[in-house]
Chain A
Amino acid sequence: MRPLTLTRLLLRCGILAVILFVVVVVAMKLGAVQVSLYGLGRDLISVLLHRTSALSSDYGMIVLGIRLPRILLAVFVGASLSVAGVSFQALLRNPLADPYVLGVSSGAALGAIVALILESRLDLTPEMAGLITPVGAFLGAALTIAAVYILGRREGQIDSTTLLLGGIITASFLQAVIMFLMTTLSGNNLRGSAFWFMGDLSTPQPRSLLYFLSFGFIIAAGAIYTTASDLNLLLAGEKEAMHLGVDVPRVRIVVYIAASILTGLAVSVSGTIGYVGLLVPHVMRLIFGSDHRMLIPASALGGAIALVIADTLARTVTSPTDLPVGAMTALAGAPLFIYLLRRRIA
């Protein structure tokens, strides 16, 4: 009998963090523009020490100004989607759940489209214009969270099955509205939405937004982590969990809102990137077991690693053309999913 201990948890997370670091460094090296690691390292240090005028390599600006933010965005989005995936799989007691199953992504997409439409009608400063799509997407996500929560209640509490049904129906409905808008409105500004649906990390985001994202991630993921041992028990059944001392309604609400916020944040800056939230939790479960105290941080790190790799492939495989990163995750994800199915895990 060897239950999880803090040392083992930190050790494993440490290993994953090291892998993530290595992957990030490799990702910084690869790209349309060749850089040397040594020059890169010196540039990074001088940036951290705020001596930006001393950039040595010619392409240091490109790497640190374009590539690194993109890699960090992939870290954030990958971690968010994976933690949301783990949470929804536990909350809905369904191994096929992914962050989008409750319609949050469709709501975010609709919000982004409405924001694009409004933007062409309003006159905005460039900073505002840069923010309006993510803000619109996040608002759309928030409204969907509220709507699905209301639909998913039975006798005043969230019920897993009802929630799942409510979410699927909401997602379909919103998708239909999106299709309607996209075909009836002028195609100019909406051209980019095709990329958005496939998932796209190539747009540099304003700094304020990045701060907000990391802050949101820490809060939401932290909230979910406090319910980690409760989630272990929830997997055995809600009645049993209650009889073992889990405050099931509270855990459901906290996990639902926090996981939906994580999904909304991720989707509002990157579009819907598929398979990450579904598969990373399963792979981590294969390696580390179902204990959520280990699984949640492992999924966060694993998701970050997976998405950085996918994004690096997306921007280097057919250089200089950028593939949408969602295509990459689907290409890799589908065979992996089949493999997991055959092992009867998913």
Chain B
Amino acid sequence: MSSALRHPLPGDAPRASSDVRLSVEQVSYAYAPNPSQAPLFTLEAMSFQAKPGELVAILGPNASGKSTLLKLISGALQPLSGRIFLNGFETHSLAVKTRAQRIALVQQESRLLFPSRAWEFVIQGRHPYGGGLRFESEEDIIIANNALAQVGASELADRWMDKISGGEKQRIILARALAQQPLLLLLDEPTLHLDIGAQVDLLESLRRLAAQNRYTVVVVTHELNLAGEYADQVVLMHRGKCLRVGPPATVLQREILEQVFQAPLSVEMTPSGRPRVTLFTNK
């Protein structure tokens, strides 16, 4: 499979691939539903960085601020303090179209008002690259086909979106994100509705794609073992605070996990150097 065609984008300074691509610097956030009320939810100042080809897992229990952090990274929200850089550009200050060319967000589900075919869905990913009234070019078609191939869904191209399974739909949604040819691929709890086999498939694909296409992939999840097995970096969140950032082995440790997830756990190291977390029940 050939890699997708890529035009060099403005702002891509020629750098070595080990350079930092995503830089979250002292970012905090507060949200008040009513101007007169005190802010309900806060994200305390936190920082981390990610390189091209890396898979970062944002890990934490519910209501720990993971989704908010992801929205801040995607540029949908503006941080209260601190800044988020993508290749040297602040994500929030980019124009919507430019942002869509660099950051792709994969939602959990897609509610379609009128049914469409899978390839129509995927080719929507090329929208950021067109003018006001455009028709898809040959190049767009090639890229969309590539994206489908990369997620292993080429045979689903002509199927209707409302007639395929959840796992297949997830792959199509991912293919649309790939068609955007982003630098940064964000996924918000992508494994929620998938069975274990599909979960593994997805994470394997993400790791492969990150390596192949030099994406930076950021996955929000609460699945401890998926994070441990596949992530290059883990950001552990708890009630709006970032407790620890680093490789899985340093972050997934028993004491801190028990404190965050409020469950008896035990952590062992696998031969490959990855931590494995199991429920520890005292009989």
Contacts and interface: CB of A to CB of B under 8 A. Distances in A.
B5 interface: no
Contacts of A225: 133
A292 to B, nearest CB: 10
A235 B114 contact: yes
B127 A290 contact: no
Contact of A247 (B96, B112, B113, B144): B96
Given A226-B133, A233-B124, A244 B180 contact: yes
A1 B104 contact: no
Which of the four size classes fits the interface of chain A?
Answer: 20 to 34
B111 A236 contact: yes
A225 B104 CA distance: 26
Interface stretch (A2-10, A108-116, A183-191): A2-10
Contacts of B158: 1
Given A1-B141, A1-B145, A240-B107, A235 B157 contact: no
Contacts of B104: 243
A229 interface: yes
B157 A1 contact: yes
Nearest to A345: B114
Contact of B101 (A95, A229, A245): A245
Contacts of A179: none
A226 B145 contact: no
A244 B125 contact: yes
Contacts of B93: none
Interface residues of B, number: 39
Nearest to B111: A237
A51 interface: no
Interface in A310-332: none
A93 B135 contact: no
Contacts of A247: 96-97
A175 interface: no
A293 B127 CA distance: 13
Nearest to A282: B114
Given A1-B157, A229-B127, A240 B110 contact: yes
A243 B100 contact: yes
B27 interface: no
A63 interface: no
Interface stretch (B115-123, B232-240, B272-280): B115-123
Contacts of A4: 135-136
A167 to B, nearest CB: 18
A95 B127 contact: no
Interface in B170-190: 180
Nearest to A295: B114
Given A229-B127, A236-B124, A93 B133 contact: no
Given A1-B145, A239-B76, A93 B113 contact: yes
B161 to A, nearest CB: 10
Contact of A236 (B99, B112, B141): B112
Output the residue of B115, B133, B157 with the most chain A CB within 10 A: B133
B88 interface: no
A228 interface: yes
A285 B113 CA distance: 12
15 contacts: A1-B158, A3-B140, A95-B113, A95-B114, A225-B133, A226-B132, A229-B134, A235-B113, A240-B107, A243-B76, A244-B100, A244-B124, A244-B125, A244-B128, A247-B96
User: 7 closest pairs, A vs B, by CB?
Assistant: A245-B100, A245-B128, A245-B97, A3-B136, A1-B119, A290-B114, A243-B105
Given A245-B128, A247-B97, 17 more contacts: A1-B123, A1-B157, A3-B120, A6-B135, A9-B135, A95-B113, A228-B133, A236-B124, A239-B107, A240-B110, A242-B76, A243-B74, A244-B127, A245-B99, A245-B127, A246-B96, A291-B120
